[in-house]
Amino acid sequence: MINLYALEFGYGPKPVIDALALRLERGKAYGLLGLNGAGKTSLLKLLAGALKPRSGTIEVFGRDPARREAAALADVAFVPEDPWLPSVTPRAYLERYAAFRPAFDDALFERLRGELGILEDKVVSKLSYGQRKKFALAAALASGARTILLDEPTNGLDIPSKMQFRKVLAGAISDDTVILVSTHQVRDLESLIDPILILDSGRLACSLEAETIGARLATVRAASLEGLEVVHAERDALGWNALVARRGRAELAAPADIELLFNAALAQRARLEAATTGAALAPYAGEGRKS
């Protein structure tokens, strides 16, 4: 498991991660959402040991990644948004990579390579962006690491590759792993990521499990918001697209739209918290400011 205590990090005077406390349990694939600059990639790098915090504590399966001990590094696999790969063949890369990964599963990698359609006849640095991304993802998922950190994993993937990636990621979720996926492409992965964590200016704005979202929230498209307990609403050409409190109403059948949920966490935080805890909502007064 992963524990963060009062974590702070920044590249200048202003913190990018600010007093962040978080606990990530095994057996789950967490979705990490946030605006550009919210601290998502920095958090992944801190967990991977690529950055050191200014203050606070990080424990990844009981180890401090900033100490960069061999056993700790072998137990974390980080795939950046645009992975750099050297000018070697896939087999040569994996032979060198696996030497630092005692639990690397070569047979699993070969299966994932086939499922993701990764080419074998080029040096890995010459692969297309999508192919490099798939190669790095397959290597991470076959690494044997208990912590898998993925930064925008579906960027650069075509539609069939996204479908295959969802399949292999679902297969990677186990009772002994923690998976943390940072993404802006929420709809690519919304069936897999649970819970959802939303960062805002380096702080945790929201943490919600799929069960709570499904039980408490719904999406409504309507010409009018009258008669609805609105958490957050956005106008479009047809009227309103609204995130509403479900309250057990059978007619509110459409599941909560995750993009609307994300916007609500930033613009209507108090209303979202009230709706997900079953509290009454005050009359909706528009998009408003962060609360």
Say whether both 61 and 106 belong to one domain: yes
Say whether both 36 and 160 belong to one domain: yes
CATH at 33: 3.40.50.300
The pLDDT tens digits of the residues spanning 205-260 come to 999 998 999 899 999 998 888 888 999 999 888 789 999 998 878 788 788 889 99
pLDDT at 180: 96
Average pLDDT, the chain: 89
The pLDDT tens digits of the residues spanning 114-127 come to 888 887 778 888 88
The pLDDT tens digits of the residues spanning 173-212 come to 989 999 999 988 877 777 888 899 999 988 999 999 989 9
Mean pLDDT value of segment 134-161 = 91
pLDDT of 129 over the 80 cut: yes
The DSSP 8-state label assigned to residue 63 in this structure reads B
Say whether both 142 and 182 belong to one domain: yes
Look at residue 65 and tell me if it is in a domain.
yes
Mean pLDDT value of segment 100-125 = 87
Say whether both 191 and 270 belong to one domain: no
Domains identified in the chain, total number: 2
Say whether both 181 and 42 belong to one domain: yes
Look at residue 289 and tell me if it is in a domain.
no
Q: What would the 3-class secondary structure string for the chain be?
A: CEEEEEEEECCCCCCCEEEEEEEECCCEEEEEEECCCCCHHHHHHHHHCCCCCCEEEEEECCECHHHCCHHHHHCEEEECCCCCCCCCCHHHHHHHHHCCCCCCCHHHHHHHHHHHCCCCCCCHHHCCHHHHHHHHHHHHHCCCCCEEEEECCCCCCCHHHHHHHHHHHHHHCCCCCEEEEECCCHHHHCCCCECEEEEECCEEEEEECHHHHHHHEEEEEECCCCCCCEEEEEEECCEEEEEEECCCCCCCCCCCCHHHHHHHHHHCHHHHHHHHHCCCCCCCCCCCCCC
Say whether both 103 and 190 belong to one domain: yes
- Answer with the one of 208, 241, 261 that is the final residue of a domain: 208
Cα dihedral 186, 191, 197, 198, rounded to 10, equals 30
Question: Where residue 288 falls among pLDDT bands split at 50, 70, 90?
Answer: very low
- Answer with the one of 208, 233, 265 that is the final residue of a domain: 208
Give the domain range for residue 58.
Answer: 2-208
Say whether both 48 and 62 belong to one domain: yes
Say whether both 172 and 222 belong to one domain: no
Mean pLDDT value of segment 135-139 = 91
